[in-house]
Amino acid sequence: MVAGFESRPLKAAIWLMTAIGLAIIYLPPLYLVAVSFNPALQPALPPLSDISLTWYFALAKERTLISALQESLLVATITALVATGLALLSALAYMDLGKWRSRWFMFVLLPMFVPGIIQGLSLSVIFGRIGLKPFWGTVAASHLLWALPFAFTVILTSMAAVRRSYLLAASDLGASWWRQLVDVTLPLIKPGLVAAFIFSFLLSLNEFGRAFYLVGRQNTLPLAMFGKMNSGASPTIYALSGSIFLASILAVSFVLLAAQAKDRKLHR
Amino acid sequence: MKSPGLLLALPTALIVLLLGFVPLIVILVWSFWTWDPATYWIRPEFSLAGYEAILEAGRWSVIVGSLGKAFLTAAICVVIGYPAAMAVHFLASRRTALLLMALFTIPFFTSYMIRAFSWRLVLGRNGLINGWLMDLGIVDQPLDWLLFSNFAVNVGLVASYLPFVIFPLILSMQRVEPSLLAASQDLGAGFWRTFRSVLLPLTQAGIFAGFLFVFVMAAGSATEVQMLGGAAASMISVMINDVMRVVNFPLAFAISTLVLIILFGLIFIGNRLFKLTSLFEGFTW
């Protein structure tokens, strides 16, 4: 406990604000998840006796949404693979860059701050001019720019596990740069690589603005869902939104729990 | 230690330049070209028509309005996020701190669209809040202004981008030497005095970084307005979509250029003034 925080009302106020912050982030989507189990058409909390998976079963018949989901899974897999690979290289480069580090960090991070619509539009006119027809690859190109900063940050954080002394020891024992990478660095940052892959996958799966100008004939899932949400939302959209939201939460929780378990092992 | 050094940076540098920055620079150049009705494209003749059109049809007020909404969102996020970061760093046990950080990390990787959409169920005429207000007898009629209004957009924006403010704040608090706070207290300063004269000045880089992140994300957002805004509500990104619907390339490029200059200008000035990148240097070795 740090000095200055003994007052009870003060502590209560700080916790209250924290609770408000968490509530505005989580309550609405969790309410939506609850509503999705209500078989009635009118959105409301289902009475416990009425909980049903009606709308989840109805999802199986939504052809457009299913093919959009397949497209999104493809784009997300490609995006995650490329983003993780590039992020690893960028993080290794960061280690070697000395006083250029913070500039390199900014450079890789900057695309994250470009509004999605503008990034998508600029890419689509360029692709159009060079005669590249929109397809899953053009969408993945834009998603890459969105996912890379996160993947880079995650891998960079995991690099903290690689002590300089380990590499010096390996080097003294005659390990080449490549051997050091494969036998020392990569095993130590494996959780970071897995996290970067999963996070990039989710960022791509849930991305909406960038894909808008870059999809070909086949919509990505968020674009297809956007259409459904604004055309007299059928409750199936609650079921789909709810499942995507829960799946995202589970995937991130898995990553974070794995990281903590590893942390505890290290500190024991 | 021999290492491929710069070679490692090359693939990322090329991708970020070619896919990220070159298209934006091309758009900047093309925003000064002339619209050619014959080809539905532009031709390389200097023209300011795109920029002049920004001043027409209320477009300027959409830009100012978007920046205003982004400012308000960022300010609210700092007000909620600062105590939340204090809870994580100063009050919580190690376990609780990890849990809170996890809870603030998860939303980055969930869908902004689904989260904005879910506010419709909360704020709508038959929504959660109107239900509570009517049950408690506070209102007889459901409130209409809760949804499809500026209020709803601002609530949605705060909910979407709040996590962006938390982490810069926690990072900046981690750099505050605890003995400084203790010293301030030993010299007789109460909490507020210590807060104002020690904690706040020492965490200003975190406050500014957090504010800036939220501001930039909110200024470029589209989903929250599309899901929660009223019929006439617009935002820079939505306006660009509208302009592109009538294939007015020079105008769309001009708006994009202007917005990018504003946002990137803020990031660079912020970085100069507050050394934002130094916040993240605790990462490694």
- Asked if A94 reaches chain B (Cβ–Cβ under 8 Å), the answer is yes
The domains found in chain A, sorted by start residue, are: 62-267 (1.10.3720.10)
Distance from CA of A56 to the nearest CA of B (A): 16
What the block records as the tokens of A33 is 């998840």
Residue A65 dihedral angles phi and psi, to the nearest 5°: -70, -35
Q: How many CB atoms lie within 10 A of CB B257?
A: 22
Among residues B17, B135, B111, the alpha carbon closest in space to that of A107 is found at B17
Nearest to A43 among B126, B158, B259 (CB): B126
Residue B272 falls inside a structural domain: yes
- Asked if A32 reaches chain B (Cβ–Cβ under 8 Å), the answer is yes
- What is the band of A5 on the pLDDT scale with cuts at 50, 70, 90? low
What the block records as the tokens of A168 is 């010096």
Residue B257 dihedral angles phi and psi, to the nearest 5°: -60, -50
Stretch among A25-34, A35-44, A252-261, B100-109 having the lowest mean pLDDT: A35-44
Query: Is residue B152 within 8 Å of residue B115, measured between CB atoms?
Result: no
Write the single-letter amino acid at A195: A
- Asked if A104 reaches chain B (Cβ–Cβ under 8 Å), the answer is yes
Three-class secondary structure assignment of B176-212:
CCHHHHHHHHHCCCCHHHHHHHHHHHHCHHHHHHHHH
Residues A165-214 have pLDDT tens digits of 888 888 888 888 888 888 888 998 998 999 999 999 999 999 988 998 99
Residue B205 falls inside a structural domain: yes
What pLDDT shows up at residue A83?
97
Residue B266 falls inside a structural domain: yes
Asked whether the beta carbons of residue A89 and residue B283 sit closer than 8 angstroms, the reply is no
Asked whether the beta carbons of residue A31 and residue B118 sit closer than 8 angstroms, the reply is yes
Residue B79 falls inside a structural domain: yes
Spatial neighbors of A215 by CB under 8 A, at least 6 apart, are A134, A138, A139, A223
Q: Distance from first CA to last CA of chain B, Å, rounded?
A: 16
Residues A211-233 have pLDDT tens digits of 989 988 888 999 989 988 888 76
Q: Alpha helices, DSSP H only, in A131-185?
A: 136-158, 164-172, 177-180
Asked whether the beta carbons of residue A249 and residue B91 sit closer than 8 angstroms, the reply is no
Instruction: Give B-chain residues touching A20 at CB under 8 angstroms.
Output: 80
Query: Is residue B164 within 8 Å of residue B245, measured between CB atoms?
Result: no
- What is the band of A267 on the pLDDT scale with cuts at 50, 70, 90? low
pLDDT along chain B (285 residues), means of 10: 72 94 94 84 82 85 93 96 95 92 93 94 88 86 87 95 94 88 83 86 91 93 90 86 86 94 91 73 51
Instruction: Give me the residues paired with residue B35 across strands.
Output: B42
**B 254-283 → A contacts, CB under 8 A:** 256, 259-260, 263-264, 267, 271, 277-278, 280-281, 283
CB pairs < 8 Å spanning A and B: 287
Residue B235 falls inside a structural domain: yes
- Asked if A168 reaches chain B (Cβ–Cβ under 8 Å), the answer is yes
Is residue A88 pLDDT above 90, yes or no? yes
Instruction: Give B-chain residues touching A117 at CB under 8 angstroms.
Output: 220, 222, 237, 240-241
Max alpha carbon distance in chain B (Å)? Answer: 77
What the block records as the tokens of A207 is 């991305």
Q: Kindly report whether the global pTM for this prediction surpasses the value 0.80.
A: yes
Instruction: Give A-chain residues touching B27 at CB under 8 angstroms.
Output: 118, 121-122, 125
What pLDDT shows up at residue A101?
83
Chain A residue nearest residue B281, CA to CA = A102
Residue B245 falls inside a structural domain: yes
Q: How many domains does chain B have?
A: 1
Instruction: Give A-chain residues touching B217 at CB under 8 angstroms.
Output: 113
Residue B48 falls inside a structural domain: no
Residue A251 dihedral angles phi and psi, to the nearest 5°: -65, -45
What pLDDT shows up at residue B3?
59
d(CA B186, CA B179): 10
d(CA B65, CA A146): 26
What the block records as the tokens of A107 is 């450079």
Asked whether the beta carbons of residue B106 and residue A248 sit closer than 8 angstroms, the reply is yes
Residue B140 falls inside a structural domain: yes
Is residue A85 pLDDT above 60, yes or no? yes
CATH code of the domain containing B75: 1.10.3720.10
Burial label for B103, CB within 10 Å (0-12, 13-18, 19+), is buried
Query: Is residue B86 within 8 Å of residue B167, measured between CB atoms?
Result: no
Asked whether the beta carbons of residue A21 and residue B80 sit closer than 8 angstroms, the reply is yes
d(CA B254, CA B51): 6
Nearest to A35 among B27, B121, B220 (CB): B121
Domain holding B256, by residue range, is 57-283
- Asked if B252 reaches chain A (Cβ–Cβ under 8 Å), the answer is yes
What the block records as the tokens of B174 is 């981690």
Instruction: Give A-chain residues touching B131 at CB under 8 angstroms.
Output: 44
Q: Alpha helices, DSSP H only, in B6-149?
A: 6-15, 22-30, 49-54, 59-86, 94-105, 112-123, 128-135
Nearest to A177 among B4, B128, B216 (CB): B4
Residue with tokens 């939302």: A233
Asked whether the beta carbons of residue A96 and residue B252 sit closer than 8 angstroms, the reply is no
Asked whether the beta carbons of residue B24 and residue A118 sit closer than 8 angstroms, the reply is yes
What pLDDT shows up at residue B135?
86
d(CA A170, CA A179): 8
- What is the band of A1 on the pLDDT scale with cuts at 50, 70, 90? very low
d(CA B192, CA B196): 6
- Asked if B6 reaches chain A (Cβ–Cβ under 8 Å), the answer is yes
What pLDDT shows up at residue B1?
45
Give the HSE-up count for residue B104: Cα atoms under 13 Å, Cβ half-sphere: 26
What pLDDT shows up at residue A118?
94
Distance from CA of B70 to the nearest CA of A (A): 13
- Asked if B75 reaches chain A (Cβ–Cβ under 8 Å), the answer is no
What pLDDT shows up at residue B70?
96
Nearest to B263 among A113, A144, A208 (CB): A113
Instruction: Give B-chain residues touching A105 at CB under 8 angstroms.
Output: 277, 280
CA distances from A90 to A229, A257, B47, B187, B248 (A): 39, 25, 40, 47, 38
Instruction: Give B-chain residues touching A157 at CB under 8 angstroms.
Output: 283
Is residue A107 pLDDT above 80, yes or no? yes
